């Protein structure tokens, strides 16, 4: 059942529903159906709009109501059962009979069920409230401009908001050299992790005289906790395409590719449709916008190998080969896809290009730090109250991101993070606290990269395996003197002897946790996990605080606690699986963990 079609002249407002992957996973498609049903049944003269990611993933599903001539109202964590009353609080049916009917139905429902609705205040988000203002206040939307406002696939709405204005200017008023110069002046660096100067990379490709050149958008995002590229591809497909067109014109590329992991079905679907719409509107294909410039883009789905995020492994994958990194030089700028000069940039890099051309390099250059200009999109997750997608200026401190936006005063820029032993990466930020075991966390991330290693480089293949073996021993209480030094030695050689970024950065979680939390490693060698996270090193027991309430015995999934009402209980260590259920259910802190 769809919404009632209305004459645009009679529309009395707009209802926006977020339909990004996070929103859909939280039930926003059910919200959409409830909205459509309510609009249809009441004959409301409103426009329904499906929008992309708002960034406030901790508040989804989100519904925004925009009555004509009034301030918009945003509702968070909406349930399908409450949609009807939320909409009716803003839009009355145009028909008198339907208005009377709704009041009668609501009254009867209250009498029959004896359930009173909490009211719209329960869902209403005021942008002036501290927790909302803190999340949005420090952000500068460039790649995420018009978040939660535009329909991802509405090309006319994109045009109305200055979409394709930059490529029009480039094709009619700028030479390729002028475009590259503008990008260089902006100070833009690649947003995929290496932070290589974007203008210089474009210049290297442009200098090649080959008649055939390729351009690739690297959307193969696989880092734990990262979902920035997915959001940009789902919510701003035309913005990314426009950035690719500008880059193709600047470097003389003749064909382009989106490389997107197949695990992002919504991103694949929207990019595929956006490419079709662009071809229909002369934005892609021959003589784009009636110019002499011709360019088209194909989409290739990656099979999920993390190593294919590295540009040369990605190129191998597009060619139909196994994703092995290539020895460099030559670099892709000289010899890339099918041995032709190839420009490879990250999704976020392309998403910021149109802004620079449209507003001038200086508008971008004035944001950020001396070394890193502009903004960076981060995926904020972990032990934090307000997770989601944020876009903040380069140079903002980690403290500001974690404590103010998300609820370490190290500035987020290339040089400062490198000095701290970290890296910018693609933008996944996972927040931990003092209850997390740093040795176990290092083991988790190293296990991921070790599993994803393509195996080509001996140092990466064997070095990460040996490091993981040591970490497994440490977390099982079998650490030995010299393990820390061996981890440091293996880590440094793995970084030196690996071809690609995966191998060069795989030891980072181990080396940095040793650097900042060495005492935890030393404790593990002595057979103790300070946080009690390593289950092989802890023991559960019941102390004298026990009152014999039997809650722990009832909760234990393996029968490790005998049911003895009004008596002190005991845990059978042979049966105990250390699931922590007994401690969580105990009301008198009678369960000890040692």
pLDDT score for 502: 85
Look at residues 166, 153, 171, 175 and name the one whose alpha carbon lies nearest to residue 289.
171
Distance, CA of 242 to CA of 350 (rounded, Å): 8
User: Kind of pairing, strands 375-382 and 63-67?
Assistant: unpaired
38 by Cβ neighbours in 10 Å (0-12 / 13-18 / 19+) ranks as buried
Of all residues in the chain, what percent carry a pLDDT higher than 70?
87
The three-state secondary structure class of 25 is helix
Task: Report the alpha-carbon distance of residue 554 to residue 542 in Å, rounded.
Answer: 15
Residues in the chain: 594
Instruction: Give pTM, 2 decimals.
Output: 0.84
Q: Which residues contact 125 (CB under 8 A, 6 or more apart)?
A: 59, 74, 75, 76, 132
Q: Where are the domains of the chain?
A: 8-125, 155-365, 438-525, 539-594
**CA distance linking residue 259 with residue 363, whole number of Å:** 30
pLDDT (0 to 100) of residue 57? 83
Residue of 66, 58, 68 lying closest to 17 (CA atoms): 66
User: Distance between terminal CA atoms of the chain?
Assistant: 59
Q: Are 355 and 142 in contact (CB under 8 A)?
A: yes
Sequential DSSP letters for 408-472: ---B-SHHHHHHTT----SSEEEE--TTS-HHHHHHHHHHHHHHH--S-SHHHHHHHHHHHHHHH
Q: Say what the pLDDT of residue 372 is.
A: 87
Q: What is the pLDDT of residues 92-118, one digit of tens each?
A: 877 666 656 666 666 555 555 554 445
Task: Specify the pLDDT at position 213.
Answer: 98
Q: Which residues of the chain have pLDDT under 70?
A: 1-9, 95-137, 404-427
Determine the Cα–Cα distance for residues 136 and 127; give it in Å rounded to an integer.
8
Backbone angles phi, psi at 28, to 5 degrees: -70, -25
**What's the confidence (pLDDT) of residue 429?**
77
Instruction: Answer yes or no: are the C-beta atoms of 13 and 68 closer than 8 Å.
Output: yes
pLDDT value of residue 5:
45
pLDDT at 198: 96
d(CA 188, CA 265): 30
Per-residue pLDDT, 6 = 44
Question: CATH number for the 539-594 domain, one of 3.10.20.340, 3.90.226.10, 3.30.70.20, 1.20.1260.10?
Answer: 3.30.70.20
- 253's tokens: 């590329």
348 Cβ contact partners less than 8 Å away, ≥ 6 residues apart: 143, 191, 192, 228, 229, 232, 376, 377, 426, 427
In CATH, what number does 438-525 get?
Answer: 1.20.1440.230
CATH architecture of 8-125: 3-Layer(aba) Sandwich (3.40)
CATH architecture label of 155-365: 3-Layer(aba) Sandwich (3.40)
DSSP code of residue 401: I
């Amino acid at each position: 059942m769809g919404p009632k079609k209305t004459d645009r002249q009679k529309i009395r407002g707009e209802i926006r529903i977020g339909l990004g992957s996070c929103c859909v996973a939280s039930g926003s498609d059910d919200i959409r159906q409830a909205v459509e049903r309510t609009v249809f049944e009441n004959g409301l003269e409103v426009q329904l709009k499906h929008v992309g990611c708002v960034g406030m993933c901790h508040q989804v599903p989100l519904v925004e109501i925009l009555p004509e001539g009034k301030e918009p109202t945003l509702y968070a964590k909406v349930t399908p059962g409450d949609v009807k009353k939320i909409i009716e609080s803003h839009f009355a049916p145009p028909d008198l009979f339907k208005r009377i009917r709704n009041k009668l139905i609501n009254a009867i429902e209250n009498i029959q069920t004896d359930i009173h609705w909490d009211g719209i205040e329960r869902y209403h988000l005021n942008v002036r409230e501290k927790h909302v203002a803190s999340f949005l206040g420090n952000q500068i939307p460039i790649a995420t401009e018009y978040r939660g406002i535009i329909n991802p696939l509405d090309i006319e709405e994109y045009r109305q908001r200055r979409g394709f204005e930059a490529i029009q200017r480039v094709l009619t008023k700028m030479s390729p050299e002028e475009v590259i110069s503008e990008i260089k002046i902006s100070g833009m660096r690649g947003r995929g992790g290496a932070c290589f100067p974007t203008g210089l990379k474009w210049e290297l490709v442009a200098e090649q005289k080959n008649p055939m050149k390729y351009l690739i958008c690297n959307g193969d995002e696989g880092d734990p906790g990262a979902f920035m590229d997915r959001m940009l591809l789902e919510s701003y497909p035309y913005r990314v395409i426009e950035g690719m067109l500008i880059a193709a014109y600047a470097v003389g590329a003749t064909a382009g590719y989106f490389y997107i992991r197949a695990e992002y079905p919504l991103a694949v679907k929207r990019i595929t449709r956006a490419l079709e719409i662009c071809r229909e509107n002369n934005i892609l294909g021959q003589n784009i916008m009636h110019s002499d410039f011709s360019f088209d883009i194909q989409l290739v789905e990656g099979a999920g190998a993390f190593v294919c995020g590295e540009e040369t492994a990605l190129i191998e994958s597009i060619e139909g080969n196994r994703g092995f990194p290539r020895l460099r030089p030559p670099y892709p700028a000289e010899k890339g896809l099918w041995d032709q000069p190839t420009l490879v940039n990250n999704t976020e890099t392309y998403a910021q290009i149109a802004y620079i051309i449209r507003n001038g390099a200086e508008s971008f250059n004035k944001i950020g730090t001396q070394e890193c200009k502009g903004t960076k999109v981060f995926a904020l997750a972990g032990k934090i109250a307000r997770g989601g997608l944020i876009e903040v200026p380069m140079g903002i401190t980690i403290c500001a991101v974690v404590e103010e936006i998300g609820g370490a005063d190290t500035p987020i820029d290339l040089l400062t993070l490198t000095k701290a032993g970290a890296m910018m990466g693609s933008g996944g930020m996972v927040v931990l606290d003092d209850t997390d075991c740093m040795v176990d966390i290092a083991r988790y991330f190293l296990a991921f990269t070790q599993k994803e290693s393509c195996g080509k480089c001996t140092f990466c293949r064997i070095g990460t395996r040996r490091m993981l073996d040591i970490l497994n021993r440490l977390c099982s209480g079998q650490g030995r003197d010299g393990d820390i030094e061996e981890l440091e030695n293996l880590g440094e050689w793995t970084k030196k002897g690996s071809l690609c970024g995966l191998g060069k950065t795989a030891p980072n979680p181990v080396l940095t946790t040793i650097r900042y939390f060495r005492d935890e490693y030393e404790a593990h060698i002595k057979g103790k996990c300070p946080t009690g996270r390593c289950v092989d090193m802890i023991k559960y027991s019941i102390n004298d605080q026990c009152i014999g309430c039997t809650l722990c015995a009832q909760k234990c999934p393996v029968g490790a606690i005998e049911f003895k009402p009004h008596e002190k209980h005991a845990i059978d260590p042979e049966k105990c699986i250390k699931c922590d259920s007994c401690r969580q259910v105990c009301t008198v802190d009678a369960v000890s963990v040692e």
